Amino acid sequence: MDKIYLSDETTNAMLERLADQIIESGRKFERVVGIEKGGLPISLPLAVMLKIPHQSVRISHYDGCEQRKAPLVTFLDGVDEVENCLVVDDLIDTGATMETFDKFFGLQSNAVAVLFWKRGTRKPDFYVEEKPEEWIVFPWEKSDV
């Protein structure tokens, strides 16, 4: 599969555009919930830009290379109530992560923000670009590829 390597500059510009969209919407959130791992490099700076608390959740569909029978969902700080939060991930591709989040915590009273969204999946409240067919490699992933 072809890959697109994003630079720090491109990713930072996208993050600023995402923050601008959220601020311009006028919506106020109690906190940002970052989905580990890919969402954390986006959710942490967003929480700072929006001046609201941050927490993170781990949603794992795989144990190493093996797909789990049921996803593992864990809040890293033990909080499990999610209302009026901005749920942040790097992208929505298959939609499985957001479906799992919705099943465990609900998305109805929350908003979703991502850098890339793949058409045909649940549309996030905030996104910067539609996801291309190529595999996206973010700056923080380059050493893993």
Per-residue pLDDT of the chain (145 residues; tens, 9 = 90+): 799 999 999 999 999 999 999 999 999 999 999 998 889 999 999 999 999 999 988 887 666 556 666 677 766 666 667 789 999 999 999 898 999 889 888 888 999 999 999 999 999 999 999 999 999 999 998 765 4
Number of neighbouring beta carbons within 10 Å of residue 30: 13
In the chain, where are the structural domains located?
3-144
Judge: domain 3-144, CATH 3.40.50.2020. yes
Could you tell me the pTM of the whole model?
Answer: 0.88
